[in-house]
Structure 1
Amino acid sequence: MTTDSIRVPLVVPGTRPELADIEANIQAARGRISVLYQVLLNSAPLAQGWEALLTVIRNHTQVPPDLRELIILRVAVLNGADYEFEAHVPHAKAGGLDDAQIAAAKLDGSAEVFDEEKRCVLHLTDCMTRDIRVRPEVFDAVLQRFGVQVAVEITATIAAYNMVSRFLLALGIEH
């Protein structure tokens, strides 16, 4: 990835002692401090809160890993966030998505490689990302299939990754 397009300075890990604890948490949760987090570290409170929220979304909900990663890939596609898509392909594979499903995430949510559960989640993802307002029948289908807790967690996952992709694009973190 080139950093020429990034609109703010990157905070090089280890260069600001006051960020050491936050950097250690990011490193522990992610295994590295990506360009995204090097941008976020320009605001210590934001980096800390972002890491906490996204760690909960990714690691502490009842959303199955394949559905979570499918949501993330689809949001990235709809928002044109190539960096996000590519960053999550390995997670998607580890979460149980196969190459055909990953490729189909670039097309639409009706592909035959998706079962009804995945199509239901993709429909909500598309509605939330494209239309913002979700028709009652779309959300009701998710609620009926997954129950209240998981429906809320799926919705939060879609919302959070719309935030991520829009942040990436606004700050020029594109490839």
Structure 2
Amino acid sequence: MSAEHVRVPLVQPGTRAELAEVEARILAERGRVSLLYQVLLNSEPIASGWERLLTAVRQQTGVPASLRELIILRVAVLNGARFEFDAHVAHAEKAGVGARKIEAVWEPELSPLFDPTERLVLELADRMTRDIVVPDALMERLRAHFDSRGIVEVVATVAAYNMVSRLLVALNVSH
């Protein structure tokens, strides 16, 4: 990973005593302090809240890992966040998403490779990312498949990874 064009300084772990607690939480949850977190550590409150929110989204919801990772990949593609896409390919593979589906998230229209539930959450990702507004008809289809908690969790996943990818793009975090 190259950091030469990142628009803020990277905070090297262990260099600022006031960040020790948040760095310890990041290490405990993620196993390392990634380039993204080295950027976020410029603001302790943001890094801390970010870590808590994204840990909840990735590890504490009922969204199946394969759906979550497809959402993340699609949002990364739509927002031009190659760094995020590349960071999640291995997670998608581990969740059982095949190579053909991973490649298919790059297609402008949703591929017939995706099953109906995958297409549903990917359509949600497309609408929320491209149009912001989710049509009532799409929300009704989501209600037919997910309970209230599930809807909040898939919507929050799309929203959270729009936040991630847009921060990465704005601060030029890339390879």
The interval holding the TM-score normalised by the smaller chain is: over 0.9
Matches of 2:9 and 2:108, distance apart in 1: 36
Matches of 1:78 and 1:156, distance apart in 2: 17
Matches of 1:12 and 1:126, distance apart in 2: 35
Matches of 1:158 and 1:110, distance apart in 2: 16
Q: Please, what TM-score do these two structures have when normalized by structure 1?
A: 0.97
Listed as ranges, the gaps of 5+ residues in structure 1 are none
Structure 1 letter corresponding to 2:57: I
Matches of 2:95 and 2:108, distance apart in 1: 20
Matches of 1:45 and 1:151, distance apart in 2: 28
Matches of 1:109 and 1:56, distance apart in 2: 30
- Residue aligning to 1:50: 50
What is the count of residue pairs matched by the alignment?
Answer: 175
Question: How big is the shift at 1:147?
Answer: 1.5
Cα RMSD, aligned residues only = 0.9
Contact in 2 for aligned 1:109/1:123 (Cα 8 Å):
no
Bigger CA drift: 69-78 or 2-11?
2-11
- Residue aligning to 1:172: 172
Listed as ranges, the gaps of 5+ residues in structure 2 are none
Identity %: 55
Question: How big is the shift at 1:174?
Answer: 2.3
- Residue aligning to 2:134: 134
Q: Please, what TM-score do these two structures have when normalized by structure 2?
A: 0.97
Structure 1: 4+ residue segments shifted above 4 A: none
Matches of 1:37 and 1:99, distance apart in 2: 28
Matches of 1:50 and 1:126, distance apart in 2: 23
1:63-86 per-position Cα deviation (integer Å, ceiling 9, x unaligned)? 000000000000000000000000
Structure 1 letter corresponding to 2:137: E
Bigger CA drift: 112-121 or 51-60?
112-121
Matches of 1:173 and 1:142, distance apart in 2: 33
